[in-house]
Amino acid sequence: MRKVVSGLFISLDGVVESPDQWQFAFDEEMGASLATTLETTDTVLLGRVTYSEWAGYWPTVTGGEDAGFADWINNAPKYVASTTLEDVGEWANSTLIRGDLTTAVQRLKEGEGKGISVAGSPTLVRSLLERDLLDELVLLIHPVIAGEGRRRLFAEDAALKKLALVSARPTSSGVVIATYRPVR
């Protein structure tokens, strides 16, 4: 069965929104972690917000340091979880998940291929965790407090969910890459 894996940049105070505004460094170890994700997954799950932001950007990237990721994400099958979007045809290889999210993700997990990566999409990550559909949560924890006015990964009223630490390692810039699996 295929695994669903999410990797998120997160601040010490739990902020995942707009990491470009508070992420101070991107080191080799973080790049290696993300490269591993690209090597071990071939399908992408996206929420509405991330899809809407990325669909207008990644197809335009053809060179530079982001060209490898752009090529990967543009060619990967992308499944978009949204109850408000009507169509996701503007970005090649994108499919709108219609109907029940749990059923759709279970079908993807039972299908052929490598793992399934959740790109950004913290709201979707929360939904997948709540439904026991997320197999691994990789947090790249930055030693920074992002502050007020930004969305955190989990709301104050989130239900109790136990996770087991699989690995944790610091990087040269002080980021900790922590991998968790839900306790089932």
DSSP state of 63: S
pLDDT of residue 151: 85
164-176 pLDDT tens trace:
999 999 999 999 9
- Whether residue 25 is predicted with pLDDT greater than 90 in this model: the reply is no
> Model confidence at 179, in pLDDT bands (50, 70, 90)?
very high
pLDDT of residue 150: 81
The 3-state DSSP class for residue 116 equals strand
Residue 41 near residue 117 (C-beta atoms within 8 A): yes
Q: What is the Cα–Cα distance from 145 to 22, expressed in whole angstroms?
A: 8
For residue 47 the two structure tokens come to: 């929420």
Q: What is the Cα–Cα distance from 94 to 82, expressed in whole angstroms?
A: 12
> Model confidence at 34, in pLDDT bands (50, 70, 90)?
confident
pLDDT of residue 74: 95
78-97 pLDDT tens trace:
999 999 999 999 999 999 99
36-74 pLDDT tens trace:
988 999 999 999 999 999 999 999 999 998 898 999 999
pLDDT of residue 90: 93
Nearest to 91 by CA among 44, 35, 123: 44
Query: Any residues with CB less than 8 A from the CB of 150 and at least 6 apart, and which?
Result: 15, 17, 18, 21, 22
Token pair 């090529």 is found at: 71
User: Region 10-29: what's the mean pLDDT?
Assistant: 90
The whole model's pTM is what? 0.92
pLDDT of residue 158: 87
Which one-letter amino acid corresponds to residue 171? T
Percentage of residues in the chain having pLDDT higher than 90: 79
Nearest to 75 by CA among 46, 107, 117, 43: 43
Residue 24 near residue 144 (C-beta atoms within 8 A): yes
Q: What is the Cα–Cα distance from 97 to 133, expressed in whole angstroms?
A: 15
Question: Exposed, middle or buried by CB within 10 Å (0-12, 13-18, 19+), for 7?
Answer: buried
